[in-house]
A and B are shown apart, each in its own frame.
Chain A
Amino acid sequence: MKFARLVWANIFRNKRRTFLTTASVAVAMFLFASLRSIITTLEASAELGSEARLITRNAIGITFPLPEAYTSRLESTRGIRSVSWANWFGGVYQDPQDFFAQFAVQGESYFAMYPEIHVPDDQLDAFLRERTAAIVGAGLMERFGWSLDQTVTLQGTIFPGDWEFTIRGVYTPENPSFSDQAMYFRYDYLFERTNRQVTPGWFVLQLEDPTAAADISTTIDALFENSTAPTATETERAFQAGFVTMWGNVAGLVRAIGTAVFFAILLVAANTMMMAARERINEVAVMKTLGFQNRTLATLVLAEATIITGVGGLIGLFLAKGFINPANPVNVMLPGFNLTTGTFVAGVGISIALGLVSGAVPAWQSARLSVVQALRRVA
């Protein structure tokens, strides 16, 4: 502690340089925390789907529907407790840029299958009584300032026309990674408005025994193998992970950017410390003359570098923590976007490592400095 004042004085020797170095580390750590949070959120969403539910979709692709007649055959398959289905609607509310997901779902069965979507019983009853009713996520309600029993009009893109919905329920997800930015409405409304032309986009199957998922998936796909719409069945978790896999390159890119940023800042910090050490060659020589050990001098340099990068890192991490919050618009695309404790700890660790690595060379130089040569240079 008695050397603290010396370290402190050296940190503020060149205030502008210290500020710029700290700021550059802060920006880098902000980027690191933000980018890593994207990855951790993606990974969390891949874990979101249930292993006890299967998703059966058209084998050609998710955008191709399946015949509604499959329902009864699925219901009669051994090991399946219940069947529901859903469709992607793709409507626009006022501004196409204000995107949110809308699903037409088989009302009675769908919400019974998703206990993690909390809807008050009376609101669910109201939803089931009215064909144009909708259940909207709490976050979406807040985002658009909607209220219960309000009628909202969406412009259909896949299904043209103006579509009116009356909000009869508000859901809150159990897991923050599950989006509260979606709207569910009744499949029969879509079915009737399209003159019964629409068919289910995908089926959701509740299993009696999750361990039988693989066998049942194989059985189902074999069942429809030679039909006009062959199916691809997988657990809901695998289905979710498939979506995340689509982000796979993004995650890789994010990691690459993060690594590049880290090394760029490492060079900046190392350069700063080298410059600072070079300016102080004479002082280091004087301190050695006074009896300072090489180890003490090296420690002082390392402490200075670590404090600069550590403070910069903490500023960046706290800025990121302030930025990554439930009100952040990124949550619309990435539900549950948050800065995890793991990311924060990793950020602190990297900041300290950055200081130690960037201070290592000047610390080593200080330790091996020849007092006589250094003093002669000044003289």
Chain B
Amino acid sequence: MTTTKLSSDQTSSGSQTATALVEIRDLKKSYYRDSQEIPVIEGVTLTINRGEFLAMMGPSGSGKSTLLNIIAGLDSTEHGSVIVAGENVTAMSARELATWRGRHIGFVFQFYNLLPVLTAYQNIELPLLLTDLSKKERKEHVRTALDVVSLSDRAEHFPRQLSGGQQQRVGIARAIVSDPTIILADEPTGDLDAKSAEEILDLLTRLNEEFQKTIIMVTHDAKAAERAHAVMHLDKGVLSR
């Protein structure tokens, strides 16, 4: 079932439903090299419903990661708006965005980006340090996340003691530990061998199907994109189905 509505350089054709989680309206973004303007996103309009698993594909430099960063409130826009769970991300201050991200966004990176000085347990616990949870509650959350990614026996391992696939599973556990509204994955299998990539995709699929997590995944891999409910293509800043 595909519930994603999209358009590029035009207004969304579909009506909004009560389940819309992410609403992107006429988004434009350019980078500047000296005085030269380099458009990255050109009027993207997109609605993503709650519980959806969306894959975004496109060549390098097409603006996929930029769009993901804007949804996460990590990058700014020049035009348009991004509304996630009813909150206008593009209108928030840096401070508000940081708090909002901690509550609503789980981010999975291509290169895992675990802190090397912390154990798997401590890496997963990081987002919870920003909450009011007690140490005991944090422990329960981390244990649950470790169970979900099947790494309970590696809790005290440092990233260097884990394989790439295991590190990415820790990264996913970190992304879900605070029970975020949406999971953003930027090429989560891009640095993994085929077997590990398959495991990660299985895990993301399970998170979507079993835990009803909304996932937006940027990928180059067509096979990975097949796992999603919908696949969007971004090319030269223009989004298409």
User: Which of A's residues lie within 8 Å of B, judged by CB?
Assistant: 2-3, 5-6, 9-10, 12-13, 282-283, 286-294, 296, 371-372, 375, 378-379
B109 touching A12, Cβ below 8 Å: no
A291 touching B101, Cβ below 8 Å: yes
Residues of B within 8 A of A9 (CB): 115, 117-118, 122
Residues of B within 8 A of A3 (CB): 129
B112 to chain A, nearest CB (A): 10
| Binary contact track B114-154/A, C-beta < 8 Å → 1, others 0 | 01111000100011011000010000000000000000000
In the bound complex, CA of A89 to CA of B16 (Å): 106
- Complex partner residue of B102 from A2, A291, A294, CB under 8 angstroms: A291
Asked whether any CB of chain A lies closer than 8 Å to the CB of B99, the reply is yes
Asked whether any CB of chain A lies closer than 8 Å to the CB of B212, the reply is no
A290 touching B107, Cβ below 8 Å: yes
A-contacting 9-mer, from B68-76, B80-88, B221-229: B68-76
6 A–B contacts from the bound complex (CB under 8 Å): A5-B118, A9-B118, A290-B101, A290-B127, A291-B103, A371-B74
Asked whether any CB of chain A lies closer than 8 Å to the CB of B30, the reply is no
B229 to chain A, nearest CB (A): 25
- Complex partner residue of B129 from A2, A283, A378, CB under 8 angstroms: A2
Task: Classify the secondary structure of A's interface with B.
Answer: helix
Residues of A within 8 A of B122 (CB): 5-6, 9
Asked whether any CB of chain A lies closer than 8 Å to the CB of B113, the reply is yes
Q: Answer whether A289 and B117 are a contact pair too, CB < 8 Å, given A2-B135, A372-B69, A379-B110.
A: no
Of residues 89 through 110 on chain B, the ones whose CB sits less than 8 Å from some CB of chain A are 94-95, 98-103, 105, 107, 109-110
A290 touching B102, Cβ below 8 Å: yes
Residues of A within 8 A of B130 (CB): 290-292, 296
Interface centre among B66, B102, B110, B113 (most CB of A within 10 A): B113
In the bound complex, CA of A288 to CA of B72 (Å): 11
A169 to chain B, nearest CB (A): 66
- Complex partner residue of B118 from A6, A289, A292, CB under 8 angstroms: A6
| Binary contact track B46-89/A, C-beta < 8 Å → 1, others 0 | 00000000000000000000100100101100000000000000
